[in-house]
Amino acid sequence: MLTIDSLSKSFDKGKNYALENVTFNLKAGHVCAIVGESGSGKTTLVRLIAGLERPDHGRISMNGNIIASLDKFVQPEKRNIGLVFQEYALFPHLTILDNILYGISKVKNKKQRAQDMLDLVGLNDMGKRYPHQLSGGQQQRVALARALAPEPSLLILDEPFSNLDAMLRTQLRNEVFDIIKKTEVTVLFVTHDTQDALSVADEILILQNGKVVQKDVAANLYVKPNTLYVASLFGSTVHINKNLQTAFKCPLNETCCHAIRNEKIKVNPSTGDFECEYITAAQVIKKIELGDSIQLLLKLESGEQLTVMTQDKNVADIIHIGFNSKDILEFEQ
């Protein structure tokens, strides 16, 4: 449905690239999350797709038609893409109803359609209000209704929940995606929060420094991350460097990079019997009680420091920790 082909964009004439050689496909009806830190190029990517920026190189096609390339540029108003901005961007001088009507002025039964959209997002009695009279969450839903009203073939959500506090965020995320599922629209969802991505996306695209580092279904990203960066995005991860390999007596292939997730490191509260392939002794430097579990800061003989979690309340000063080879993550250098 959406095809991105070696897309590049620079804002300083090629000295630095906000986006470099990005290539991927998006299937119709799928929800794809774009995950990356701030400055990774997420927003640039969706602005290019929406037609709010022009690419320096590469191609964007929708349903087989090129919408942006070096020779061609389809104006944003002709692309039939819905976009929900991070700061909602509701028109402050128009009522909620007029905001929703704005994009469907040429549609038959537009009044009915706008009212349907208000019903869909659960704000049926708010049509006459102005944006500033609504709460953040309500404004968010109006922005969604406004974007969905023209029945876009692609809906882009640019960090839609980042202005909300944690409680409201989870609730609204679920609500928003319940609404979206009813419309069966294809969705690109930009976020820096992996929890957001994992909970709603069919597939996830990871951007780092303007480049795609991995695109996969959620489960694979956890089990088979392409890089240490991707691994650490989905849970804290320890890089098994040379020192750790020596400490655990586990020689690993030198041409690759290895890591282990913190939660896969097993903890033996004493130095007694312990079934693990690779084991080492560690000194407990600090214990932090976190409700039902305890976080331990450990120091190995080699001087390396590690953090692990345990449920056991009785931890000796010197303990054993270890892991198994099946849990080792392996990436190319």
Partner 1 sequence: MKQVGNNSEAFSLKTRLKRLKRDSNRWSVFTLAIVFFLALPIIFIGVELFSGPGETWSHIVTYLLPDYIWNSLYLVFFCSILVLLLGVSSAWFVSRFDFLFRKQMEWLLILPLAIPSYIVGYAYAGIFDYGGSMDLIFRQLNLDFIRIDIMNRAGLAFVLSISLFPYVYVSARAFFLNQANNLLEASKMLGIGERKTFFKLMLPLARPAIVAGLVLVLMEVLNDYGAAKYYGVNTFTTGIFRSWFSLEEPQTAVYLSALLVIIIFALILFEKWQVRKVKFTSSKTNSTQIQRKKPRKAIKWLIFSVVLLPIILGFIFPVAQLIYWAVLTASTVFDAKFIILSLQSFGIAITSAVITVFFALLLIYFSKWSALRSIRNIARIGVLGYAIPGAVIAIGIMIPTLALDKWLIKMLGNLGIDSGLIINGTLIALFYAYAVRFLAVAYNPIDSTALKVDNSIPDSSKVLGVGNLRTFFKIEFPLIKTGVFSAVILVFIDVMKELPLTLILKPYHIDTLAVKAFEYASDEMVMEASIPSLFIIFTAMIPVIFLNKLLIKK
Whichever of 158 and 203 has its CB closer to partner 1, that residue is: 158
SS3 106: coil
Whichever of 206 and 260 has its CB closer to partner 1, that residue is: 206
Longest dimension (CA), the chain: 77
The least CB distance from residue 35 to partner 1, in Å, is 18
The least CB distance from residue 74 to partner 1, in Å, is 11
Token pair for 221: 């990203």
Spatial CA neighbour of 214 closest among 75, 329, 99, 68: 329
d(CA 77, CA 54): 14
Spatial CA neighbour of 34 closest among 183, 202, 224, 165: 202
Residue 103 DSSP symbol: G
CB 63 within 8 A of CB 69: no
d(CA 246, CA 260): 15
Whichever of 213 and 250 has its CB closer to partner 1, that residue is: 213
CB 215 within 8 A of CB 205: yes
Token pair for 76: 């944003």
Whichever of 228 and 309 has its CB closer to partner 1, that residue is: 228
The least CB distance from residue 39 to partner 1, in Å, is 7
The least CB distance from residue 129 to partner 1, in Å, is 18
Token pair for 71: 């020779």
Looking at residue 267, its amino acid is V
The least CB distance from residue 289 to partner 1, in Å, is 41
Whichever of 92 and 303 has its CB closer to partner 1, that residue is: 92
Spatial CA neighbour of 193 closest among 159, 237, 155: 159
CB 234 within 8 A of CB 218: no
Whichever of 81 and 267 has its CB closer to partner 1, that residue is: 81
* String of DSSP letters for 78-139: GS-EEEE-TT----TTS-HHHHHHGGGTTSTTHHHHHHHHHHHTT-TT-TTS-GGGS-HHHH
The least CB distance from residue 8 to partner 1, in Å, is 5
Whichever of 43 and 280 has its CB closer to partner 1, that residue is: 43
The least CB distance from residue 243 to partner 1, in Å, is 28
Q: Which residues bind partner 1 (CB under 8 A)?
A: 8, 10, 13-18, 20-21, 39, 50-52, 54, 56-57, 70-73, 75-83, 85-87, 89, 91-93, 102-103, 146-147, 150, 209-210
The least CB distance from residue 67 to partner 1, in Å, is 12
Whichever of 16 and 305 has its CB closer to partner 1, that residue is: 16
CB 61 within 8 A of CB 29: no
